[in-house]
Amino acid sequence: KLDVIALGELLIDFTMNGESEQGNNMFEACPGGAPCNVLAMLNKMGKKTAFLGKVGTDQFGVLLKDTLDEAGINTSNLQMDTKVNTTLAFVHTYPDGDREFSFYRNPGADMMLTEEEIDPEFLKQSKIFHFGTLSMTHEGVRKATKKALNIARENGLLISFDPNLRPPLWSSLDLAKEQMEYGFGFCDVLKISDNEVQFVSGKEDYDEAVQYLQEEYHIPLILLTLGKDGSRAYYKDMRVERKGYKVDTIETTGAGDTFCGSALNYVLEYGLDNLTEEKLGEMLTFANAAAALITTRKGAIRSMPEKEEVLQVM
């Protein structure tokens, strides 16, 4: 039995790492992709996880498979495409911490996952199914994602969604919005960032934006992340907020995923039916601390904190 299966992109994040003697930018090849970042955090918390997705047979694909094996993420359903190379993403970080992504994905192996590669028997073994929207940008992989979502729903898995909106990957923002809305219709746990919730709701105020999602889609647990300011949880008629931690941030890639993995760990421990304000507060505090820690480190999958390290930050 597995705790969480995640479907989506597995790629190399090239993050900026100083300059060479000649003054050229240097980039570090970090194994990444939101779904596996989430799983890596869950593995650190002792949970059993598996990944569903596709990489190329190039050296980056091999590196990614090895990385998942090393992290203890089950790779029995990781597909390897012999024709299309592993997806690459370059992350430019500006002095103020803002990031700009350039994707090398025309196409990339993660987009080549097909419906036929979704095995219902495999999915049924899990308690939670987690996904995002990078696997919904193009038709083939979108069909695969939708098949997995339907299997997850029919078999009573909890469904967790982190849209992870990346505008450059979409042919139009209308399509991105439409696919995010499709995801809202399925999920039990939604992790969404401040700018994403404004984008989908068209409302400036975060509480109003979340209220709109609650009314429209009846999502039991909505977790809103606010960058360095922390996070909020919306559950039944409760609204809980916890401030972020002040740390020496170098690079925020994977912060949201670390937050999400930490929160799903709480859902696995305490269920989704009887959460209290106290438990939600603990969830946010732990998730904020874990996410803050990851911003002090390069990469994500290989840099996930131990529980003791998170407790120390708290």
Site residues for ligand ATP, 271-290, by CB under 6 A, read 288
- For 80-132, the DSSP string reads EESSSPPPEEEEEE-TTS-EEEEEE-TT-GGGG--GGG--HHHHTTEEEEEE-
Sequence-separated (6 or more) residues with CB below 8 Å from residue 201: 208, 209, 210, 212, 213
Q: Which amino acid, 35?
A: P
Sequence-separated (6 or more) residues with CB below 8 Å from residue 308: none
In angstroms, the first-to-last Cα distance of the chain is 32
- Report in angstroms how near the CB of residue 214 gets to ligand ATP at its nearest: 19
- Report in angstroms how near the CB of residue 192 gets to ligand ATP at its nearest: 8
Q: Which helix (H) or strand (E) holds 50?
A: strand 49-56
How many binding residues for ligand ATP (CB under 6 A)?
Answer: 23
Q: Using the Cα atoms of residue 87, residue 167, residue 263 and residue 131 in order, give the sign of their dihedral.
A: negative
Sketch the per residue contact string, 148 through 177, with ligand ATP: x for CB under 6 A, - otherwise. ----------------x-------------
Site residues for ligand ATP, 229-268, by CB under 6 A, read 230-231, 244-245, 247, 249, 252-257, 259
Q: Could you say whether residue 228 binds ligand ATP (CB under 6 A)?
A: yes
Q: Could you say whether residue 292 binds ligand ATP (CB under 6 A)?
A: yes
Q: Could you say whether residue 296 binds ligand ATP (CB under 6 A)?
A: no
- Report in angstroms how near the CB of residue 155 gets to ligand ATP at its nearest: 28
Give the Cα separation of 303 and 65 in Å (integer): 16
Q: Which is nearer to ligand ATP, 56 or 132 (CB)?
A: 132
User: Which residues sit at the interface with ligand ATP, rule CB under 6 A?
Assistant: 164, 193, 225-228, 230-231, 244-245, 247, 249, 252-257, 259, 288, 291-292, 295
